[in-house]
Structure 1
Amino acid sequence: MKPKAILFDLDDTLWPIAPVIAAAEVTLHAWLTTHAPKVAAAWSIEALRAHRAELAAARPELLIDLGQLRRASLQAAFAAAGEAEHQVDGAMTHFFAARNAVTPYDDVLPGLLKLRQHVQLGAISNGNANLEVIGLAHHFEVSLAAAHFGAAKPDPGIFRAACQALGVAPSDAVYVGDDLALDVAGAQAAGLRAVWMNRRGAALPDGAPQPDAICATLDELLAWLEQQLAE
Structure 2
Amino acid sequence: MPPIKAVLFDLDDTLWPIVPVIMRAERLLFDWLREHAPAVAASYSIEEMRARRVALMKAEPRYAINLAALRHAVLSEVFVACGENAASVDTAMDIFNTARNQVKPYPDVHPVLSSLCRRVALGSVSNGVADLGAIGMSHYFSASIAAHQFGSAKPDPAIFRAACDALRVDPAEAVYVGDDPLLDVEGAQKAGLRGVWLRRADLPLRSMPGHLQPDAVCGSLHDLDEWLGGHIMVAPDA
Identify the TM-score tier after normalising by the shorter chain.
Answer: over 0.9
- Structure 1, unaligned runs of 5 or more: none
8 Å contact 2:4–2:233 — kept in the other structure?
Answer: no
Identity of aligned residues (%): 54
Cα deviations by residue, 1:140-177 (Å, 9 ceiling, x for unpaired): 00000001000110111100000000000000000000
Alignment of 1:211 with 2:218, yes or no, is no
Aligned-CA RMSD value: 1.4
Paired with 1:62 and 1:169, the residues of 2 have a C-alpha distance of 31
Letter in 1 for 2:46: I
Alignment of 1:146 with 2:147, yes or no, is yes
2:125 is paired with a residue whose SS is: strand
8 Å contact 2:181–2:208 — kept in the other structure?
Answer: no
8 Å contact 2:5–2:233 — kept in the other structure?
Answer: no
Q: CA deviation at 1:230?
A: 8.1
Letter in 2 for 1:207: G
**Superposition misfits of 4+ residues, deviation over 4 angstroms:** none
1:227 is paired with a residue whose SS is: coil
8 Å contact 2:181–2:209 — kept in the other structure?
Answer: no
Paired with 2:37 and 2:80, the residues of 1 have a C-alpha distance of 11
Distance 1:59 1:115, change over 3 A: same
Cα deviations by residue, 1:75-116 (Å, 9 ceiling, x for unpaired): 111111111110100000000000000000000000001111
Paired with 1:84 and 1:230, the residues of 2 have a C-alpha distance of 56
Aligned with 2:229 (options 213, 226, 230):
226
Paired with 1:66 and 1:181, the residues of 2 have a C-alpha distance of 19
Q: CA deviation at 1:216?
A: 1.1
Cα deviations by residue, 1:119-157 (Å, 9 ceiling, x for unpaired): 100001000000000000000000000010001101111
Q: How does 1:1-231 map to 2 (within 5 A)?
A: 1-200=2-201, 202=205, 204-207=207-210, 209-229=212-232
Q: CA deviation at 1:204?
A: 3.5
Q: CA deviation at 1:118?
A: 1.9
Paired with 2:76 and 2:165, the residues of 1 have a C-alpha distance of 37
TM-score, normalization by structure 2 = 0.94
Paired with 2:210 and 2:25, the residues of 1 have a C-alpha distance of 35
Cα deviations by residue, 1:176-200 (Å, 9 ceiling, x for unpaired): 0001111111101100000001002
